[in-house]
Structure 1
Amino acid sequence: MELSSDACRTRVVLDIVGDKWSLLVVRNLRDGPRRFTELKRSIDGISQRMLTVKLRSLERDGILTRTVHEVMPPHVNYELTDMGRTLREATAPLLNWSVTHLTRIDAARAAYDARQG
């Protein structure tokens, strides 16, 4: 019974960290702390609201930390935790694979769509 419960809980965690926005946030924090605006500029297509949601979710799950620097105006930095860095290491090959094969995937999709049309 316990194994089944762990499998269900694992699925929930994979749903959280397995979406494209979360993986792109983690990837963009690979070189150290970044501010919200830096992340927003570096993640093509993400809305301000979606970035906020993903950052909160990743912080809640212990993947990143949020640090507020009390200066004027206040600065907020996001940084991977130790667990977040291991997630980055685990997902880097998947992200690299997608970049390597993007052109071939686009061609396969176009060929498929042409056959269906």
Structure 2
Amino acid sequence: MNRALASRLLVGVLALEIVVPAVSLATTSTPRHYAWSMFVESSTDYRYVGETTDGTHVDLDPGEVGRPWSGIHYGPQTPERLCARHPELTSVTRFYDTDLESVQPCG
């Protein structure tokens, strides 16, 4: 492989390593910015609160659904599994630190 081709391949790989996470970062909502810090420990606090049919709010422990879902806080899988584990719930709300992140209806 000649030097010019090797240089172009290196520049192409580096460009992909910058462009793909940047596009993902720009087109996804919080906390899905994992594209930049997927393997970095985060101090973000995720909380799950369930609502029952009578309007009562119940704190939920994501550890109930087991690994890996108890540690993955993007996508609908953790709230769906909490809904399945607690049939009395009408919805599960996920909080990102103190901000409301999403509400997953159960049923």
- Flag whether TM exceeds 0.5 (same fold): no
Higher Cα Rg: structure 1 or 2?
2
TM-score by length of 1: 0.27
TM-score by length of 2: 0.29
Greater percentage in helix: 1
